[in-house]
Amino acid sequence: MEFSNEGQSFYHRFHGSFLPDENGKLMHCTGTRQQWLQDNWNSILSNAVAQDQSNVTMDQKYPLETQPSNTAVVINENPRHPTGMAFEDFFAQLILNQADLCASQSLPRVENDSSTQQIVGLFDSFLRYQGKGDRWAQEGRAYFTERVRHFTSRNAPIEFCLPAFPCKSSNKDKVTGPDPDRGEELALERLHSFVEAVEHIYQPGAKMWIISDGHVFSDCIGVDDATVDAYGEKLKAMSHAIGSRRGGANRVGFKSLVDLFQLAAIGSDAGLSTLAQRLNIPTIDHHVKTEVTEEAELCRRILMTGCGPQKSAVRATIDSKDPAITALYRGFSRFMLEDLEHHPHTQGMTKSQQKKLSAKVAFEMILRNQAYSNLVELLFPNHVRLSIHAHNNAGPKFGIQLFDPTRVRAVNALSLDGELMTSLDLLHIPTPWHNSVVQLDGSDVVLVTKAKLARAALDAGSMTGDLVNSEEGRAYFSLQRTGATHSIPVVSSVPDAPGKHKVAADTQTEKDSAVTVTVTVAAEEKDTTPAQPTLARRPTFSEKADAMVTVVRRNTGSSSAAEPYIAKHGSWLGRLRWILSLFWPRGM
Give per-residue pLDDT as tens, 37-96: 888 888 777 764 443 444 555 665 544 444 444 456 666 655 555 556 889 889 888 888
Which of 279-288, 302-311, 424-433 comes out lowest in average pLDDT? Answer: 424-433
- Backbone phi and psi for residue 19, each to the nearest 5 degrees, phi listed first: -140, 120
Mind listing the pLDDT tens digit for each residue in 346-365? 988 999 999 999 999 999 99
Say what the pLDDT of residue 523 is. 36
Looking at this protein, which amino acid is placed at residue 509?
A: T
Whether residue 137 is found in the same domain as residue 74: no
Final residue before a domain boundary, out of 53, 69, 98: 98
Summarised one tens digit per residue, pLDDT across range 444-470 is 999 999 999 999 999 999 999 999 987
Q: Are 323 and 312 in contact (CB under 8 A)?
A: no
> What is the CA 297 to chain-centroid distance, rounded?
23
Same domain, 241 and 311: yes
In three-state form (DSSP H/G/I as H, E/B as E, the rest C), the secondary structure along 87-100 is HHHHHHHHHHHHCC
Show which of 399, 434, 465 is a domain's final residue: 399
Instruction: Indicate if the pLDDT at residue 2 is higher than 90.
Output: no
Give the pLDDT confidence score for residue 55 in this predicted structure: 52
- pLDDT for 4 beyond 80: yes
Is 317 within a domain? yes
User: Looking at the domain assignment, is residue 156 inside a domain?
Assistant: yes
Amino acid 298: pLDDT: 96
164 and 213 Cβ atoms separated by less than 8 Å:
yes
The total domain count for the chain is 3
CB 485 within 8 A of CB 531: yes
Name which of 207, 315, 294, 316 is nearest 255 in CA terms: 207
pLDDT of residue 326: 87
Q: What pLDDT score was predicted for residue 361?
A: 93
CA atoms within 13 A on the CB side of 428: 21
| 298 shares a domain with 156 | yes
Q: Does the residue 48 lie in any domain?
A: yes
Name the more confident of 16 and 122: 122
Model confidence pLDDT, tens digit, residues 479-505: 998 864 433 232 222 223 333 333 333
Mean pLDDT, range 532-558, rounded to an integer: 45
Within a domain: 483: no
Provide the phi-psi class of 530: left if phi over 0, else alpha when psi is between -120 and 50, else beta.
beta
Gap between the Cα atoms of 358 and 370, Å rounded? 18
Q: Which residues contact 95 (CB under 8 A, 6 or more apart)?
A: 14, 17, 74, 378, 379
Worst-scoring range by mean pLDDT, 116-120, 417-421, 529-533?
Answer: 529-533
Residues 216, 300 within the same domain = yes
| pLDDT confidence bin for 508, thresholds 50/70/90 | very low
Query: Of the candidates 19, 183, 151, which has an alpha carbon nearest to the alpha carbon of residue 95?
Result: 19
Q: Is the pLDDT of residue 6 over 80?
A: yes
Return the higher-pLDDT residue of 456 and 331.
Answer: 456
Assess whether 243 and 385 both reside in one domain. yes
Distance CA 309, CA 7 (A): 5
Among 98, 130, 152, give the residue marking a domain's end.
Answer: 98
Are 47 and 125 part of one and the same domain? no
Q: H or E element: which one contains 441?
A: none
Q: Can you give the pLDDT at residue 72? A: 60
One domain, residues 296 and 318: yes
| 119/80 same-domain check | no
The average confidence (pLDDT) of the chain is 78
- The model's pTM: 0.77
Residue 253 shares a structural domain with residue 297 = yes
More confident residue, 449 or 550: 449
- The helix (H) or strand (E) run that includes residue 339 is helix 323-339
Question: When comparing pLDDT for 32 and 300, which is higher?
Answer: 300
pLDDT at 567 over 80: no
- The bridge status of strand 252-255 relative to strand 26-30 is unpaired
Strand ranges in 198-293 using DSSP code E only, listed in sequence order: 206-212, 252-255
CA distance 580 to 574: 10
Question: pLDDT band at residue 521, thresholds of 50, 70 and 90?
Answer: very low
* Residues 190 and 54 placed together within one structural domain of the fold: no
pLDDT value at position 102?
A: 60
CA 185 to chain centroid, in Å, comes to: 15
Q: Does residue 556 register a pLDDT over 50?
A: no
Confidence of residue 328 (pLDDT cuts 50, 70, 90): confident
Cis peptide before 79 (omega within 30 of 0): yes
pLDDT at 228 over 60: yes
Res 579: pLDDT: 53
276-296 pLDDT tens trace: 999 999 999 899 999 999 999
Percent of the chain with pLDDT over 70: 70
Domain housing 80: 11-98
Angle (CA) 536-541-546 rounded to 5° is: 95
Q: Determine the Cα–Cα distance for residues 129 and 72; give it in Å rounded to an integer.
A: 36
pLDDT category of residue 549 using cuts at 50, 70 and 90: very low
pLDDT of 19: 78
Quick one: 196 exposed, middle or buried, by C-beta within 10 A (0-12, 13-18, 19+)?
middle
Judge if 74 and 131 occupy the same domain: no
- Reply yes or no on whether the pLDDT at 245 is more than 50: yes
CB-based contacts of 58-67 (< 8 A; 24+ apart in sequence): 59/89, 59/92, 59/93, 59/96, 60/96, 61/93, 61/96, 61/97, 64/20, 64/24
Closest to 218 (Cα-Cα) out of 300, 144, 275:
300
Question: Which pLDDT belongs to residue 402?
Answer: 95
Question: Residue 300 is which amino acid?
Answer: R
Does 230 score more than 90 pLDDT?
Answer: yes
Q: How many CB atoms lie within 10 A of CB 575?
A: 23
226 belongs to a structural domain: yes
Residue 408 lies in a domain: no
**How far is C-alpha 551 from the chain's CA centre?**
44
- At residue 61, the pLDDT reads 52
Instruction: Please write the tens of the pLDDT for every residue from 246-277.
Output: 999 999 999 999 999 999 888 788 999 999 99
Q: What are residue 468's DSSP bridge partners? A: 476
In a domain, 508, yes or no: yes
Q: For 189-214, write each residue's pLDDT tens digit.
A: 999 999 999 999 999 999 999 999 99
Residue 498 lies in a domain: yes
Tell me, what's the pLDDT at 109?
Answer: 56
| Predicted confidence band of residue 536 (pLDDT cuts 50, 70, 90) | very low
Reference 213, options 157, 145, 147, 162; nearest CA is 162
DSSP label at residue 143:
H
Does residue 242 register a pLDDT over 70?
yes
How do strand 408-410 and strand 446-449 relate by DSSP bridges? Answer: parallel
28 pLDDT more than 60:
yes
> What is the longest distance spanned by two Cα atoms in the chain?
94
Q: Are 450 and 436 in contact (CB under 8 A)?
A: yes
With H, G, I as helix, E, B as strand and everything else as coil, classify residue 541. Answer: helix
Spatial strand order in the sheet of 56-60 = 26-30, 14-20, 73-77, 56-60
Residue with the bigger pLDDT between 21 and 495: it is 21
Sign of CA dihedral 33, 34, 40, 42: positive
| pLDDT for res 335 | 87
Q: DSSP code of 531? A: P
Same domain assignment for residues 75 and 144: no
Torsion of CA 130, 136, 137, 138, to 10 degrees: 130
Region of 177 (left: φ > 0; alpha: ψ -120 to 50; beta: rest) is left
